[in-house]
Amino acid sequence: MKKMKRIGILTSGGDASGMNAAVRSIARSAISAGLEAYGINYGFAGLVAGNIRRLESKDMDGIIDRGGTILYSARFPEFAEEKTQLKGIEQLKKFGIDALVVIGGDGSYHGAERLTQHGFNSIGVPGTIDNDIPGTDFTVGFDTAVNVALDALDRINDTATSHQRTFVVEVMGRGAGDIALWAGIGADADAIVIPEREYDVKEIAEHLKRNYENGKEHGLIVLAEGVMSAADFKEQLDQYGDFDSRAITLGHVQRGGRPTAKDRVLASMFGDYAVRLLLEGKGGLAIGIRDNKLVATDIIDTLENHKHITDVSLLDLNDRLRF
Amino acid sequence: MKKMKRIGILTSGGDASGMNAAVRSIARSAISAGLEAYGINYGFAGLVAGNIRRLESKDMDGIIDRGGTILYSARFPEFAEEKTQLKGIEQLKKFGIDALVVIGGDGSYHGAERLTQHGFNSIGVPGTIDNDIPGTDFTVGFDTAVNVALDALDRINDTATSHQRTFVVEVMGRGAGDIALWAGIGADADAIVIPEREYDVKEIAEHLKRNYENGKEHGLIVLAEGVMSAADFKEQLDQYGDFDSRAITLGHVQRGGRPTAKDRVLASMFGDYAVRLLLEGKGGLAIGIRDNKLVATDIIDTLENHKHITDVSLLDLNDRLRF
Amino acid sequence: MKKMKRIGILTSGGDASGMNAAVRSIARSAISAGLEAYGINYGFAGLVAGNIRRLESKDMDGIIDRGGTILYSARFPEFAEEKTQLKGIEQLKKFGIDALVVIGGDGSYHGAERLTQHGFNSIGVPGTIDNDIPGTDFTVGFDTAVNVALDALDRINDTATSHQRTFVVEVMGRGAGDIALWAGIGADADAIVIPEREYDVKEIAEHLKRNYENGKEHGLIVLAEGVMSAADFKEQLDQYGDFDSRAITLGHVQRGGRPTAKDRVLASMFGDYAVRLLLEGKGGLAIGIRDNKLVATDIIDTLENHKHITDVSLLDLNDRLRF
Amino acid sequence: MKKMKRIGILTSGGDASGMNAAVRSIARSAISAGLEAYGINYGFAGLVAGNIRRLESKDMDGIIDRGGTILYSARFPEFAEEKTQLKGIEQLKKFGIDALVVIGGDGSYHGAERLTQHGFNSIGVPGTIDNDIPGTDFTVGFDTAVNVALDALDRINDTATSHQRTFVVEVMGRGAGDIALWAGIGADADAIVIPEREYDVKEIAEHLKRNYENGKEHGLIVLAEGVMSAADFKEQLDQYGDFDSRAITLGHVQRGGRPTAKDRVLASMFGDYAVRLLLEGKGGLAIGIRDNKLVATDIIDTLENHKHITDVSLLDLNDRLRF
């Protein structure tokens, strides 16, 4: 096998806090090993356009604490087409890049998978707030998003308590309930509603009524966006009682901001692991952490035969711990 | 004049961070002066219902850093009626309370004004995130709300920059543009849209277009809720160009949470000043800070003849400082 | 075996954020299962003194987001004596308490172990910022402490960069380097110095010199308190070069404050798991999370035959990722 | 008078959060008015060395939320000498710079004053966490520092309450007690000790004793660094009672970090005001805010005949509001 010399890095899909920590980790780990690192701007769109620049160690200074991605991201549905993929590989070869590390979510992984299938060595690092990537227990950005949501829920609890209100708060997560579960448990939610399990509005309403009667005159329902909108859920809830309810959608604030320690450390471990695997001549892999250990699985198999499993036992835990 | 012995305290209207600091200040300042402090739960509703309790200095321990209000708040439109007001005064007399300090916004002030007109000595302390109370440059809760909004805007800027998007972010403020102005200047907004001045969507769109051409490929428009909804503004904006725009409503998260230093100090000064005025035999006043000095103005005159003036010169400042 | 009816809860040792979340979890999980929960104030001192109170579900409202411990803690070296331990068991029996859950660190675990050896069913829940408890990968309070330290390090990096200085920052951890490792990696430290591995000041100084020459004119050394004081380390460093160095000890600020999502969820899982094990008739256990799974190990064996292993591979990771 | 074309900007002295917001404001306001902006790196040292670069509007993107200073700062005692000052003016002329805006504290102002006395138009913008600059009620960086200190004090209160301890916490402020006063009032301190007023350790100890007897079994003393060290104060306190006391020095963490809304808005107003005054042909001024209004005073007169007055009435306020 040809000796590895240059590693390309791109971020793709929705931004997640810790992406910069992952970029830094890949670049610095590569440079430490005597390789060169190249940053590809604007995700797969920039790849195809050849928007590529050398990354020096100094460029990685002062970015680990920044949200967003210094490599930018962009929507690029055209990358589903084979000829566009081949054009991307052409650009990589033009820059002498031997392997590519893609940081992103589901769609980004599919891009990396395609390149691998065309014979270009690509590795996926899971970076999304939704935690919905197969092959890993946790993604980079999830912990920050949960903490941002929790911070908002703590504030909302202040108002709920002061005004004896019930808030229905919609959090992100696309099709997954992970953010809702973690933020909901952390915020002492009365109910957490996620796509992975049936919900019963009437039961929730009765639980709230009992609470109001027993001295907890405020309520919090944390709703995953994959179920329905906060406004729709509130409408359903209101049919079973008057809780002076309010619907809130937290929205994009969950994406950005200073990454937490866990997201920075996870991103650092993932990025470095990807580089070390490439140095061992491996590739076509999806990086992850499973049972608290770094793992790398075949990216094609991972995407085609596995899916993220949300830990729904957390719902039962919440039912035991709520008021 | 009869010697003052007992001071009542209530919070009313939307909760604002720093209300607890104000409650503590009034209670502790009163107790320091040899008076007794009584807390009235659930605002004017609790007043009329006689939901009143003695506050000891120890009860004020550990509350200065808490959002919301430990005295709770409640909607109570019935307090517009004279007979309900008189019923409230009856309760105050039953508990031997000589004067009342009301912490809240516009509506709360009107309640205090009514009681004063019926001869019951009442003082208003401005507590609202909206900063829209006459008789003061700043209200308790405004600084916290601005900082919470700014924290969200900083996060949104991360995503906007990463994705070359323009965000339209609706912040609170009822009819006033103060939160929008402060948070917008702090977040390097491209435009701030407030009820106090006409806006020109086309001009804003052209400014954004120039930015995208000149290398700032992201945008931020901070919109005061008093103008229109973020979704409506986005619709208008989209007619003048494609900025990959997104509409966000920050909502209730702006209300609660740990109060800032400024809100705690302001609340401490206001509450203590109210007590000292009462000790001097004064009353029927609205407390405030003007030109960095504590002031107390006649509450009836203040409400009837004055209104809050938003500093629209900040809009011009922002126009000079934006990209 | 006699049917379990009442569970006692105490917090002991240094406070850690998330202890209240653990108290809530144990109490609420017990109440959900039809048991009664009793809180013991002031740790083992309060146990022996019989400072014990019934905890209702409502008492657990509004505490999950609070640092410190609502059950208080206290030093109580006298609990090393057998007769004091037996006195504690006497009090537990007097209150009809069938089992005790102790939240705390090393010393607290030893107390629980003693009680178990005397035949009183006790379970340990790991609660300490130091992460130094055997039988678990993570303790409640560690994630919050790391994030607080990281927040401080981010600020310090601002000043270091502005002034071209090198900061030596001492973080907590008693004999363990875990906080230093996680916070150091998260803050892009130039060196992390921990008790688990030899350090070489000269090598660190030479690394810093190279950095200053190569364009990174600031430095950050994160030092675990178990090695030496920041002032002493700075003195050693200054012998090898002039880095305009400053020594900082972060100190007690790392203990308190709003717990992170991870600490709240971990505390919730631990507390509930302890109760469910007690319901199954088990006891004398140390709760933990290992390889991302809840585990319970014999508390006597855990304390006598195992010790916490810090993941020193993180040091090597940092060496690959630093400038 | 010659038409103004180029404005130079430098930051000097200890860094303060909001300095970047001030740099941005000066540069953007100048550019908006058709002028050119030049940044001088490393304070007066860089001025003399000619380390000067053109600042474009785009360079000011993404810096308003960053602590520290993108223009760097440096100690440079040599600037006290006239020949060094004249060398600085030579460099400014070489770059065609017509006026200089200096952001910093006391020492920086003296540099600006010297240049003005040599006939080079200079304006001072107050940027220091200490709030100790004459000619203004508030400096840029003060509000952020107070909030950072307050955040730490809130955490410390958690531990103090949990362990029934008294903490002596030393905050920054050089010779001024402003940070101690604001943070102390905000944190419900039992005593605030500042250089501007005599303190009585015995009285403080007796107050704490009364508290412990009356049910507040924890204490907080906020100490300005200008009085003595926390360790020394603790030693004095311990002579009058056993409060299980601990001494903490918050240190450099108070300097950096994301600036608050107030510091960003204040910096924006100051910087823009400086530029507008220069455009009107004015100079040799110190910018400030007094009684909530922007002011500009003669920089020579301000430095020679005025000094910062700390509002010691806040001490009396705290005495009325403490437990």
pLDDT of residue B3: 81
Residue D317 vs residue B107, higher pLDDT: D317
Number of domains in chain D: 2
**In this predicted model, what pLDDT tens digit does every residue of A101-128 receive, in sequence order?**
999 998 899 999 999 999 999 999 999 9
Average pLDDT over residues C168-172: 98
Closest chain C residue to A20, measured at CA: C186
> Which one of B129, B163, B244 would you mutate to disrupt binding with A, by most A Cβ within 10 Å of its Cβ?
B163
Mean pLDDT for chain C overall: 96
Using alpha carbons only, how large is chain D's radius of gyration in Å?
22
Closest chain C residue to D68, measured at CA: C158
Closest partner CB to A65 (pick from C137, C154, C292): C154
Q: Do A41 and A136 belong to one domain?
A: yes
Q: Do A68 and A134 belong to one domain?
A: yes
Q: Do A162 and A174 belong to one domain?
A: yes
Q: What percent of chain B has pLDDT over 70?
A: 99
Average pLDDT over residues C187-194: 98
Q: Quick check: is A319 in a domain?
A: no
Average pLDDT over residues C78-105: 97
Q: Quick check: is D310 in a domain?
A: no
- Residue burial A279-310, b: 16+ Cβ < 10 Å; e: rest: beeebbbbbbbeeeebebbbbbebbeeeebeb
CA distance A307 to C170: 43
What number of residues does chain C have? 323
Closest partner CB to D155 (pick from C67, C157, C248): C67
DSSP for A92-131, written as a single string: HHHTT--EEEEEESHHHHHHHHHHHHTT--EEEEEB-TT-
Closest partner CB to A158 (pick from B154, B251, B256): B256
Q: Is A150 in Cβ contact with C214 (below 8 Å)? A: no
Closest chain C residue to D151, measured at CA: C257
- Domain termination residue (choose one: A255, A284, A313): A255
Q: Do D192 and D56 belong to one domain?
A: no
Quick one: CA torsion of D110, D114, D115, D121, rounded to 10 degrees?
Answer: 80
**In this predicted model, what pLDDT tens digit does every residue of B122-143 receive, in sequence order?**
999 999 999 999 999 999 999 9
Q: Check whether A105 is labelled as a binding-site residue.
A: yes
Q: Is A293 in Cβ contact with C293 (below 8 Å)? A: no
Element (H, E) at D27: helix D19-32
Q: Is A159 in Cβ contact with B67 (below 8 Å)? A: yes
CA distance B146 to B259: 11
pLDDT of residue C196: 98
Closest chain B residue to D34, measured at CA: B320
Q: Is C66 in Cβ contact with D154 (below 8 Å)? A: no
* CATH code: domain of residue A30: 3.40.50.450
| Confidence band for D29, pLDDT divided at 50, 70 and 90 | very high
| CA-angle at A308, arms to A307 and A310, nearest 5° | 140
CA distances from C107 to A177, B40, C12, D164, D307 (A): 38, 45, 8, 19, 54
Task: State yes or no: is A130 an active-site residue.
Answer: yes
Chains that touch B (3 or more CB pairs under 8 A): A, D
CA distance B297 to B287: 7
Least confident of A250-254, B224-228, B310-314: A250-254
Q: Which residues of D touch C (CB under 8 A)?
A: 11, 14-15, 17, 66-69, 72-74, 148, 151-152, 154-159, 161-164, 167, 246, 248-253, 255-257
| Confidence band for C2, pLDDT divided at 50, 70 and 90 | low
| Confidence band for C1, pLDDT divided at 50, 70 and 90 | low
Closest chain D residue to B269, measured at CA: D317
Amino acid code (one letter) for D267? A
Q: Check whether C172 is labelled as a binding-site residue.
A: yes
Closest partner CB to D61 (pick from B154, B183, B323): B323
Q: Check whether A155 is labelled as a binding-site residue.
A: no
- C21 pLDDT above the threshold of 60: yes
Burial of D215 (0-12, 13-18, 19+ CB in 10 A): exposed
SS3 track for B216-282: CCCEEEEEECCCCCHHHHHHHHHCCCCCCCEEEECHHHHCCCCCCHHHHHHHHHHHHHHHHHHHCCC
Q: Quick check: is C202 in a domain?
A: yes
Q: Do D84 and D13 belong to one domain?
A: yes
Q: Do B274 and B242 belong to one domain?
A: no
CA distance C185 to C220: 11
Grouping H, G, I as helix, E, B as strand and the rest as coil, residue C39 is strand
- Domain termination residue (choose one: C256, C280, C296): C256
Taking the alpha carbons of A43, A47, A48, A50 in that order, is the dihedral positive or negative? positive
* CATH code: domain of residue C157: 3.40.50.460
CA distance D323 to D319: 9
Q: Do C237 and C293 belong to one domain?
A: no
- D219 pLDDT above the threshold of 70: yes
Pairing of strands D99-104, B246-249: unpaired
| DSSP letter (8 states) at residue C287 | E
Residue C138: name the closest of C150, C149, C128, C148 by CA: C128
Q: Quick check: is D121 in a domain?
A: yes
CA distances from C178 to A6, C91, C148, C226, D158 (A): 34, 37, 14, 11, 23
Taking the alpha carbons of D73, D78, D81, D83 in that order, is the dihedral positive or negative? negative
CA distance B58 to A290: 49
Q: Quick check: is D317 in a domain?
A: no
Interface predicted TM-score of the whole assembly (ipTM), two decimals: 0.97
pLDDT of residue D263: 98
User: Residue C224 in contact with residue C194, Cβ under 8 Å?
Assistant: yes
**In the B/D pair of chains, how many CB contacts fall below 8 A?**
130
Residue C149: give the domain boundaries: 144-256
Residue D175: name the closest of D308, D313, D76 by CA: D308
**In the C/D pair of chains, how many CB contacts fall below 8 A?**
106
CA distance A186 to A156: 13
What is the side-by-side order of every strand in the sheet holding D52-55?
Answer: D52-55, D36-40, D6-11, D99-104, D122-126, D285-290, D293-298
Q: Quick check: is B317 in a domain?
A: no
Structure tokens at C323: 């400038």
Q: Quick check: is C320 in a domain?
A: no
- Domain termination residue (choose one: A239, A255, A271): A255
Q: Is A256 in Cβ contact with B154 (below 8 Å)? A: yes
Q: Do C223 and C297 belong to one domain?
A: no
Least confident of B252-261, D15-24, D216-225: B252-261
Q: Do A181 and A51 belong to one domain?
A: no
The distance between the two most distant Cα atoms of chain A, rounded to a whole number of Å, is 72
Using a CB-CB cut-off of 8 Å, the residues of chain C touching D73 are 162-163
pLDDT of residue B122: 96
Average pLDDT over residues D147-174: 97
| Confidence band for D239, pLDDT divided at 50, 70 and 90 | very high
Element (H, E) at B321: helix B313-321
Q: Do D147 and D209 belong to one domain?
A: yes
- C170 pLDDT above the threshold of 80: yes
Average pLDDT over residues D17-28: 98
Q: Do C13 and C29 belong to one domain?
A: yes
Using a CB-CB cut-off of 8 Å, the residues of chain A touching C211 are none
Task: Please report how the helices C313-321 and A261-279 are oriented relative to each other, as an axis angle in degrees rounded to 10.
Answer: 80
| Confidence band for C187, pLDDT divided at 50, 70 and 90 | very high
CB atoms within 10 A of CB A312: 13
> Which one of B154, B158, B167 would you mutate to disrupt binding with A, by most A Cβ within 10 Å of its Cβ?
B158
pLDDT of residue C101: 98
Using alpha carbons only, how large is chain B's radius of gyration in Å?
22
CA distance C274 to C288: 10
- B187 pLDDT above the threshold of 90: yes
- C4 pLDDT above the threshold of 80: yes
One of A15, A98, A130, A272 is an active-site residue; which one? A130
The residues that bridge with D222 in the sheet, in sequence order, are: D169, D192
CB atoms within 10 A of CB B234: 20
Q: Is B256 in Cβ contact with A156 (below 8 Å)? A: yes
Quick one: CA torsion of B123, B127, B133, B134, rounded to 10 degrees?
Answer: 40
Closest partner CB to B320 (pick from D28, D58, D258): D28
Quick one: CA torsion of B48, B52, B57, B62, rounded to 10 degrees?
Answer: -80
Q: Quick check: is D208 in a domain?
A: yes
Q: Where are the beta strands (DSSP E) in chain A?
A: 6-11, 36-40, 52-55, 99-104, 122-126, 166-171, 191-193, 219-224, 246-249, 285-290, 293-298
CA distance B186 to B165: 19
Q: Which residues of A touch B (CB under 8 A)?
A: 11, 15, 17, 66-69, 72-74, 148, 151-152, 154-159, 161-164, 167, 246, 248-253, 255-257
| Confidence band for A3, pLDDT divided at 50, 70 and 90 | confident
> Which one of D148, D163, D164, D225 would you mutate to disrupt binding with C, by most C Cβ within 10 Å of its Cβ?
D163
Q: Do D137 and D13 belong to one domain?
A: yes
Chains that touch C (3 or more CB pairs under 8 A): A, D
Q: Is C253 in Cβ contact with D249 (below 8 Å)? A: no
Grouping H, G, I as helix, E, B as strand and the rest as coil, residue C134 is coil
